[in-house]
Amino acid sequence: MSIADTDAAPEARPGRLGSRPRLVDAIMCVVLGLASLGLGVWVVPQHKTVSPIDEYVYIDYLTKVPSQLVVHTGEQTGPYARLYLSCHGVRELGYYPESFCTHWEASDVARMPNEGKTSADLYTPLYFGATWLMAQPLRWFGVHDITEAGRLTGWTWLAAAAILLFLTLRRLRVHPATAGGLSLLMIGSLAAYWSNTYISTDATALLAGSLMAFGLTMLERPGRRGPWLFVIFAVLLTLAKLQNLMAVGAAALILVIMAANTAFRGESPWGERWRAFFRDRRILIGVIAVVASVIGQVIWILIRSALSVDTFPDQGVATLFGKKAFVDEVFKFFPGVANGAIQPSSVAFVAVIAATVMTWVIVAGVLGLLAVAKRGTDTEALALGSFIVALLAGPILAVANIAVSGIYFSLPPRYGTSLLPFFLICAGVLFTRSVWTRYLAPAFALVCYVAVMSIPG
């Protein structure tokens, strides 16, 4: 991905970054890693309850990794997860009777979520296996509880996401202050707070977006490794969580738009333009990445079905899919991802601040870049591809749920978290165009980072 527009200022013009990262870039990567670690070390110990975003079943999955690797459809949750839930309660929802914290009767199972069944069988063991492995060294530092250890590993996914986002922005010639600020803004986001300080499969989402965006920058470099890595990234990220397919789709659509801009730019006959379009290797790479990711999920669905021991629990979330629901899903992720997992106003005032700032950055970045980008440029492809996927992903996922499970439920905005890095990249390319705007990102980032760190656990 070159994104070299002639309307950008010479010193801020996005494009290739041929030399090795400069010292300031290396320092910024270290700072972003420490900022991610700081978020985890500060926030995780404050969590006294279980996250309402399915953390209970994720804790159960994590504890079963060493004994069975995967959980099965219809499987009952284990005693550790049940007692942990009973003793700690659920954030925003409340607590169980104190007697549940010491023992369970058979008649009490009906009061458990999903009547005691797991719903985490939807996921492959990729996230849980990696989290369990990373949690083991923490035992050397006295963190013996697997839940706390698992939560503390969330900073590693976040650090990788932030560093990759920063490197992607630098490869696009975004000013270091802007690139570093937007990467720190992602660390100090509500999405990171809910996904990377609790045990959650959403921990892979920000990494998915950053890695797919970074993969785009690899494709313009010589050699055959770039396309293969791009496809491998896409498959693994989608296997980690189906919703990460949104990031794959965004990257693939950007490639398609870039190929279209190249093919239809000239004055040759339309037949030749279409042939050039379909012969463009970017089309092939994008299609293979999406198809391979879908095939990977289909294979997992078949494996999951073969391993099932009972029916999937009725979670009581089914509703009608009408015109209003369709419109809601269209605008669910743009800019809804700024709110994280729960409505900010129900969490704390500082959460509202973080959500508001992120919303401004998302809307200004994507729509602003669409407005100023020259037609037919890679910059336009970046903004247009990100925006289109953000609008279409919700309805497509809703229809896919109906087709697979026969029910529709209102999608939570957090499902679109993997698109957040693409939105921030749009903002970075836009903000770096003038001196006064490029320094907005660090200011926004510091406000949000402090705000998220101030959220009471």
Structure confidence by residue, pLDDT tens digits, 209-240? 999 999 999 998 776 788 999 999 999 999 99
How far apart are the C-alpha atoms of 331 and 343, rounded to whole Å?
Answer: 16
CB neighbours of residue 6 within 10 Å: 8
3-state secondary structure the chain: CCCCCCCCCHHHCCCCCCCCCCHHHHHHHHHHHHHHHHHHHHHHHHCCCECCCCHHHHHHHHHHHHHHCCCCCCCECCHHHHHHHHHHCECCCECCCHHHHCCCCHHHHHHCHHHHECCHHHCCCHHHHHHHHHHHHHHHHCCCCHHHHHHHCHHHHHHHHHHHHHHHHHHCCCCHHHHHHHHHHHHCCHHHHHHHCCCCHHHHHHHHHHHHHHHHHHHCCCCCHHHHHHHHHHHHHHHHCHHHHHHHHHHHHHHHHHHHHHHCCCCCCHHHHHHHHHHCHHHHHHHHHHHHHHHHHHHHHHHHHHHCCCCCCCCCCCECCCHHHHHHHHCCCCCHHHHCCCCHHHCCHHHHHHHHHHHHHHHHHHHHHHHHCCCCCHHHHHHHHHHHHHHHHHHHHHHHHHHHHCCECCCCHHHHHHHHHHHHHHHHHHHCCCHHHHCHHHHHHHHHHHHHHCCCC
| 457 residues of the chain, pLDDT tens digit each | 655 443 444 444 444 433 455 889 999 999 999 999 999 999 999 999 999 999 999 999 999 999 999 999 999 999 899 999 999 999 988 888 887 787 766 666 777 888 889 999 999 999 999 999 999 999 888 899 999 999 999 999 999 999 999 999 999 999 999 999 999 999 999 999 999 999 999 999 999 999 999 999 999 877 678 899 999 999 999 999 999 999 999 999 999 999 999 888 777 777 787 888 888 899 999 999 999 999 999 999 999 999 998 887 776 677 878 888 889 899 999 999 999 999 999 999 999 999 999 999 999 999 999 999 999 899 999 999 999 999 999 999 888 878 766 778 888 999 999 999 999 999 999 998 888 888 889 999 999 999 999 999 7
pTM for this model (two decimals): 0.92
What H or E segment, with its residue span, contains residue 180?
Answer: helix 176-187
Structure confidence by residue, pLDDT tens digits, 340-384? 999 999 999 999 999 999 999 999 999 999 999 999 899 999 999
- Token pair 């491998």 in the structure block, residue: 232
Q: What is the DSSP string of 342-365?
A: S-GGGT-HHHHHHHHHHHHHHHHH
Q: Where are the domains of the chain?
A: 10-46+155-221+310-453, 55-151
Task: Tell me 98's DSSP state.
Answer: G
How far apart are the C-alpha atoms of 384 and 254, rounded to whole Å?
Answer: 8
